[in-house]
């Protein structure tokens, strides 16, 4: 199953649910999993793949915690993970980005997540699935990571673009969830929900539509694109979509604005 796409349609998932070497991972809230989830899905609580203390949240955990989380869902080097949530794909995409950061490329999200699955007539169950734990061991790669210093070092680099996935109010500083509001100098706003078809069960828009938007904004495929939001939750979906479109050089900024906006020496624009 190593040839599965980054984004999987519900009908496609229905045909491969019982295939070998697939782990279906539910990243909804615990009460939603108890009430109804896709049969065979194991539950992974989102806090298992993030770390940090207020005000700086959304960091990448240390490797011991990450290996423990991946072992708990039964991950092996041969396993293809298909993740879903019920909020448009942010949590599921953060898991995929995390797996990529561990050198595990066999990962996908379900297009539209639980919303599309349920609304399009596919069955749900309340019967939990207990994973057989493994001893997954990996190391963190910097290939898909952009930390604060890396961004500071590339602020004037024309080959590097910053994609801000937050709302317009956060971008302008009208709403501030950190000590300072605003955005990283030069960042281009492309809100994560603008990639979704809100009238079609939170599925992603067609590739050509999203690519046209990106091109208009100057977020072209010849650049290295660094995606951020407040904690690299929403922007994880931006990362995944750009990878789906064939962008070769995409990074995520873990802890994002909760890190940048709570420093005293980082430049800010409004």
d(CA 78, CA 125): 27
Domain 148-260 class in CATH:
alpha beta
89, 193 Cβ separation under 8 angstroms: no
Phi, psi angle pair for 164, to nearest 5° = -100, 115
Instruction: Indicate the average pLDDT of the chain.
Output: 97
Count of all residues that appear for the chain in the document: 270
Q: Is the pLDDT of residue 41 over 90?
A: yes
Q: Is the pLDDT of residue 2 over 60?
A: no
Residue 237: the pLDDT is 98
98 three-class SS? helix
Neighbours of 47 (CB within 10 A): 9
Tell which residue, 98, 108, 106, 102, has the closest CA to residue 137.
102
164 three-class SS? strand
d(CA 126, CA 32): 9
Q: Given pLDDT bands bounded at 50, 70 and 90, which one contains residue 39?
A: very high
Cis amide bond preceding 55, omega within 30: yes
Q: How do residues 216-264 score in pLDDT, each as one tens digit?
A: 999 999 999 999 999 999 999 999 999 999 999 999 999 999 999 999 9
- Average pLDDT estimate for 189-216: 97
Phi, psi angle pair for 10, to nearest 5° = -55, -40
Element (H, E) at 258: helix 256-260
- Average pLDDT estimate for 56-79: 97
**What residues does CATH 3.40.250.10 cover in the chain?**
7-119, 148-260
d(CA 166, CA 171): 6
Q: Given pLDDT bands bounded at 50, 70 and 90, which one contains residue 198?
A: confident
Q: Which of 7, 229, 236, 250 is catalytic?
A: 229
- Average pLDDT estimate for 86-102: 97
Residue 86: the pLDDT is 97
- Average pLDDT estimate for 78-97: 97
How many alpha carbons lie under 13 Å from residue 49 in its C-beta half-sphere? 29
Told to judge if 227 belongs to the known catalytic residues of this protein, a careful annotator would answer no
- Average pLDDT estimate for 111-119: 97
- Average pLDDT estimate for 111-126: 97
d(CA 94, CA 136): 19
Tell which residue, 224, 229, 197, 200, has the closest CA to residue 213.
197
Q: Given pLDDT bands bounded at 50, 70 and 90, which one contains residue 31?
A: very high
Tell which residue, 227, 60, 254, 251, has the closest CA to residue 144.
251
Q: Given pLDDT bands bounded at 50, 70 and 90, which one contains residue 184?
A: very high
Residue 18: the pLDDT is 87
CATH topology of domain 7-119: Oxidized Rhodanese; domain 1 (3.40.250)
Residue 3: the pLDDT is 85
- The DSSP code sequence of 215-238 is HHHT--TTSEEEEESSSSSHHHHH
Tell which residue, 32, 42, 38, has the closest CA to residue 13.
38
- Average pLDDT estimate for 82-101: 98
Q: Is the pLDDT of residue 27 over 90?
A: yes
């Amino acid at each position: 199953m190593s040839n599965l796409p980054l984004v999987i349609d519900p009908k496609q998932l229905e045909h491969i649910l019982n295939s070998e070497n697939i782990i279906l991972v539910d990243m909804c809230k615990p009460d939603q999993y108890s009430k109804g989830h896709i049969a065979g899905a194991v539950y992974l609580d989102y806090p298992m793949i993030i770390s940090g203390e207020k005000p700086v949240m959304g960091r990448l955990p240390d490797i011991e915690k990450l290996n423990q989380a991946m072992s708990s869902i039964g991950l092996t080097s041969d396993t293809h993970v298909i993740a879903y949530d019920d909020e448009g794909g942010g949590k599921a995409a953060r898991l995929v980005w995390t797996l990529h950061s561990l050198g595990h490329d066999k990962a996908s999200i379900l297009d539209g997540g639980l919303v599309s699955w349920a609304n399009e007539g596919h069955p749900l169950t309340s019967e939990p699935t207990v994973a057989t734990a493994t001893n997954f061991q990996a190391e963190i790669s910097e290939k898909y990571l952009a930390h604060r210093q890396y961004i500071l070092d590339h602020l004037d680099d024309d080959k590097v673009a910053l994609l801000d996935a937050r709302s317009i109010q956060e971008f302008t500083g009208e709403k501030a969830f950190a000590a300072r509001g605003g955005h990283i100098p030069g960042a281009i706003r492309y809100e994560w929900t603008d990639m979704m078809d809100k009238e079609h069960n939170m599925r992603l828009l067609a590739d050509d539509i999203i690519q046209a938007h990106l091109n208009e904004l100057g977020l072209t495929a010849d650049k290295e694109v660094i995606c951020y939001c407040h904690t690299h939750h929403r922007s994880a979906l931006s990362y995944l979509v750009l990878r789906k479109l064939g962008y070769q050089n995409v990074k995520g900024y873990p802890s994002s604005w909760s890190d940048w906006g709570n420093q005293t020496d980082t430049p800010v624009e409004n």
